[in-house]
Amino acid sequence: MGPIMIYFDNNATTAVDPEVLKVMLPYFTEKYWNASSLYEPATELAQDLQKARQTTARVLGAALPSEILFTSCATESNNAALFGVARANPGRRHIITTKVEHPAILEVVKELMRQGYEVSWLNVDRNGNLDLGQYVRALRPGGTLLVSVMHANNETGVVFPIERLARIAKETDPKIVFHTDATQTVTKLPINLTGNFRNVDLLSFSGHKIHAPKGVGALFVRQGTPVRTFLLGGHQEKGRRGGTENIPYIIGLAKAMELGEAAGEEERTRVAALRDRLQAGLAERIPWLEINGKDADRTPNTLNVACHSVEGESIIMMLSEAGVYASSGSACTSGSLDPSHVLVAMGVPSGALQGNVRFSLSRYSTDEEVSTVLDVFPRVIDQLRRLSPFWDKVNQKPAE
């Protein structure tokens, strides 16, 4: 029997579903044509591309397949959305976003600040919930260009009330463009762009969070939304994104969308039960443990904990040695020694900031894996605390 391998880092990336891989493979071999060419096999490929666009639009509840723009990832989608809106609306110079966005939003907004845009940064409380009063006060009729608020936070899983935020923005001024980064929620939470998300103008997501491969994503652009082309160089995607389409990966993305839709509420409920069991078990076994976002609405698969008097990198290394793979903060920022900007914004106690771990489950996660983590993780924390100068070994609490 080989070593255990428990993968609880699905907010960073997911395994490609075997059914996704199966539908992709022919497009690497016998269907390798360029979809823009005019001979018959290529035009058949263009029809396959259109079917993938129709599937993606249908799962998202978009009114038109043409509202789906295929990209390389959510980071590109976010860049295309924010820079594209700014270029298309030069008369407005005010942006609203949150302090807990993914770096793919934060860094774009900071770049727009360097170009002279004014930004209102929304706060969150200890549970990670937005200050709705601050949001309403920040909106400027005739002045606000863009609101960009993620659907759910990648580190904590805390879900923001996008339906309500987008409606308030449109009631304040219909010309305010509303964007949401839904990378952590597509196929995991209900999204209907002609239903509950009907006031959302732009929505970004990535394939590798939903069991499609890395290297493909999409941007929903509601018809009539003023957005300038971000990536120039060709007529592809109706002139909105230059570059030969990545057909195998787009086909895989559409299949992953179908599979996620089919999994539905039953699978979300099962995964949420695993997450809740993990949360309750760790809280029972580990003293001085912060459960971040505990009392907020969260994605069903995400648990973020912060352990007092220990350091996250050491936790992750010891978990890895035991065959348990999790993360400390966001995979896109984990190379930094700075504490998570999300947890800082939430007001996590300073003694626990460096000791945070994110467990993110998937449809492949099992009850047996949760049991193993409940055995391994408390032993790791106990061992590290026995070595920590910041832990009072006698009284079993943080050293004063």
Burial class (CB in 10 A: 0-12, 13-18, 19+), 88: middle
Q: 400: buried, middle or exposed (CB in 10 Å: 19+, 13-18, 0-12)? A: exposed
For residue 394, count other CB atoms closer than 10 A to its CB: 7
Query: CA–CA separation, 309 vs 390, rounded Å?
Result: 5
Distance CA 168, CA 387 (A): 51
Residue of 293, 271, 272 whose CA lies nearest to 157: 293
Residue 297 burial by CB count (10 A; 0-12/13-18/19+): exposed, middle or buried? middle
Query: Please, are residues 218 and 77 in contact by the beta-carbon 8 Å criterion?
Result: yes
Residues 269/284, Cβ–Cβ less than 8 Å: no
Helix (H) or strand (E) holding 180: strand 177-181
Give dist(CA 150, CA 341) in Å, integer.
15
Alpha-carbon torsion 338, 339, 342, 347, what sign? negative
- Enumerate the β-bridge partners of residue 219: 69, 204
**Which residues belong to the active site?**
332
Distance separating alpha carbons of residues 154 and 275, to the nearest angstrom: 15
Query: Which residue matches tokens 């909105």?
Result: 240
- Whole-angstrom CA distances from 356 to 11, 85, 303 are 15, 35, 10
